Amino acid sequence: MGSMPSTETPTPLTDKIFAGALILSTGLQIAESLVPRVPLFPWLRLGMSWAILLPFLLSFGVRPAIALFLARNVLSLTFGGQPPSTFLVSSLSGVFSILLAGGVLRKGVATGWLGWIGAGVALAACFNALQLGAVTAILVGHSGNLFQLGPILAWSLLSGALVAWLAKSFWSPDLWERIGLIIENRVPSDGTPDRPLRLWRLLAWSSLCVAPFALESWRFEVALAMALVAFAIHSKRPRGCRILWQSWPYFAFLAWLHLLDTPGHFLSGTSVTSEGLVSFARHAGRLASFLLASQELVRLVPWQRIAPGSRWARGIGLALPLLPGLFPSATRSTREWWKQRKSPQRTSLAEAILRGLERAQGQPTP
């Protein structure tokens, strides 16, 4: 558990490994969003998802790490309901921090100059400084906001060290290989290249996945979600409705974010604003539509055939069906992992979470 990821001869990156890392990093990103922000210092976050991104960067390099980071942001935007400005600032900061620091960190680890804490602090400082610059340039438009640079760098020392400690608890030399085996066991048997691909169905369900994000009407979002629920019931596909129930933590997060934290005109006798209610209806309907439509898309698309060279596309396709059950299984698995903390046979926390997720989905473990 104390070793660092190898930058010389890592396990070959596959779509299964990419999917497992995407599930873990997205879950950590959304879970951390449940923690309220400090108004004066909104950047005051640990960045727990970097506990997966950091060893992934060290193992597989800059380009795969950027692909994982952007995929994590896309799914966090979809499931977490964050505003587009948050997605834009985070994406720009993360991509440039990995581009600027990724190669140097990998060289430092390979030569023994850096350990877990050094790599974690350096990456946190780079990301936080670039994020402040992006916020100042895109949202604030005034250099007076740069007074926060000193506190940001000080916070990076603490957050980077804590993320490094968490990454170390996740890490084991055969982590990626074992994660790949767990995800491979989840690939549906009907996802074979011989299955006929009907283009009109692909276009229809792809459009239904994208349409909720293209329109801002909450009435449209709710109506589309209800229509997709009716379709699932009429088509006798209980998994479509079951996935909404499994995703209740995401809807609870949207309720907390929009109903309790949106300014506006309060509804009589409540602490909820009418603007917050509309915002929640829009984002909850959008998430429900995306979940239902993406399940059909994952079921229909022969990923190995249409994207044979894209680990990114296939990895997202493998991760989507598993994300709804992530929070409950992660909570149980983490408790079990902690109880076994003195056992020399204990697996890494990342593997424990994925195995718990697999058991919750009713799949055997290898």
DSSP 124-151: HHHHHHHHHHHHIIIII--GGGGGGHHH
Q: Give tens-digit pLDDT for 182-209.
A: 887 765 544 444 456 677 777 888 888 8
Q: What domain count does the chain have?
A: 2
- Which of 118, 94, 98 has its CA nearest to residue 4? 118
332 and 216 both lie in a single domain: no
159 and 133 both lie in a single domain: yes
Which of 245, 266, 300 terminates a domain? The answer is: 300
- Which of 253, 277, 251 has its CA nearest to residue 263? 277
190 and 206 both lie in a single domain: no
Residue 216 phi, psi (nearest 5): -110, 0
Q: Give tens-digit pLDDT for 5-61.
A: 766 556 788 888 998 899 888 878 776 766 655 555 555 677 888 999 999 999 999
Q: Is residue 363's pLDDT more than 60?
A: no
Which of 300, 320, 344 terminates a domain? The answer is: 300
Q: Give tens-digit pLDDT for 238-280.
A: 666 777 877 777 787 778 778 877 788 888 878 888 888 998 8
What pLDDT score was predicted for residue 122?
93
What pLDDT score was predicted for residue 365?
41
93 and 168 both lie in a single domain: yes
Answer yes or no: is 235 within a domain. Answer: yes
Q: Is residue 68's pLDDT more than 80?
A: yes
Domain range for 131 is 1-197+310-366
185 and 205 both lie in a single domain: no
Question: Are the C-beta atoms of residues 123 and 20 closer than 8 Å to each other?
Answer: no
Answer yes or no: is 107 within a domain. Answer: yes
Answer yes or no: is 120 within a domain. Answer: yes
Q: Give tens-digit pLDDT for 113-145.
A: 888 899 999 999 999 888 888 877 765 555 666
What pLDDT score was predicted for residue 364?
42
226 and 246 both lie in a single domain: yes
266 and 334 both lie in a single domain: no
Calpha distance 225→282 (Å, rounded)? 10
Q: Which residues pair with 266 in a beta bridge?
A: 273
Q: Give tens-digit pLDDT for 93-105.
A: 999 999 999 999 9
78 and 225 both lie in a single domain: no
Question: Are the C-beta atoms of residues 18 and 311 closer than 8 Å to each other?
Answer: yes
What pLDDT score was predicted for residue 81?
58
Which of 276, 300, 324 terminates a domain? The answer is: 300
Question: Are the C-beta atoms of residues 117 and 164 closer than 8 Å to each other?
Answer: yes
pTM over 0.85: no
228 and 316 both lie in a single domain: no
14 and 90 both lie in a single domain: yes
25, 191, 296 from 317: Cα distances, Å? 16, 11, 11
Q: Is residue 232's pLDDT more than 80?
A: yes
What pLDDT score was predicted for residue 260?
78
Q: Give tens-digit pLDDT for 272-308.
A: 888 889 988 988 888 888 888 877 776 676 555 555 5
Question: Are the C-beta atoms of residues 16 and 30 closer than 8 Å to each other?
Answer: no
What DSSP line would sit under 328-356, residue for residue? HHHHHHHHHHHHTTT-TTPPPHHHHHHHH
Q: Which residues pair with 255 in a beta bridge?
A: none
Percentage above 70 pLDDT, the chain? 77
Answer yes or no: is 161 within a domain. Answer: yes
16 and 94 both lie in a single domain: yes
56 and 68 both lie in a single domain: yes
Residue 266 phi, psi (nearest 5): -70, 140
What pLDDT score was predicted for residue 189?
47
Q: Give tens-digit pLDDT for 309-350.
A: 677 777 877 787 777 777 667 777 777 777 777 777 777 767
Answer yes or no: is 305 within a domain. Answer: no
Answer yes or no: is 232 within a domain. Answer: yes
What pLDDT score was predicted for residue 135?
75
Q: What is the mean pLDDT of the chain?
A: 78
